[in-house]
Amino acid sequence: MTNKEAETDASLEWRPIDTCPTGPKVLLLNQAGIANTGWYDGKDSWFVAWFPLPKIPPAIRKRIEHALPSNIGQMIAD
C-alpha cells in the first residue's frame, strides 16, 4: 500500500533559501521537492528553501538517550 500524502501544518511554510543561515544544520528543500537535513553553504543552487529543525523536548531526548549507547547523548546535545 502506498500513501503519497504528507502530514503538514498550515501555519508553517518553507523559508526562502536566500535567508538560510550557513553553519547550523537545517531542513533543506531541493528542486525535486525532496526535503533532507544538512548544512547550506550559501552557494548551492540545488536547494530552493529551508526550515529550522524542531527542538527535541526533554521527554523525547530522554527516550533517545536510553535507546542509544551511553556516550551518544552528548553527541546529540552538541
User: Which tens digits make up the pLDDT trace of 16-66?
Assistant: 999 999 999 999 999 999 999 999 999 989 999 999 999 999 999 888 877
Sequential DSSP letters for 52-78: PPPPPPHHHHHHHHHHS-TTHHHHHH-
Let me know if residue 8 belongs to a domain.
Answer: no
Tell me the pLDDT band of 1, cut-offs 50, 70 and 90: very low
Let me know if residue 27 belongs to a domain.
Answer: yes
Total domain count, the chain: 1
Let me know if residue 26 belongs to a domain.
Answer: yes
Let me know if residue 67 belongs to a domain.
Answer: yes
Let me know if residue 3 belongs to a domain.
Answer: no
Let me know if residue 20 belongs to a domain.
Answer: yes
Let me know if residue 31 belongs to a domain.
Answer: yes
Domain membership of residue 28 as a residue range: 15-77
Let me know if residue 55 belongs to a domain.
Answer: yes
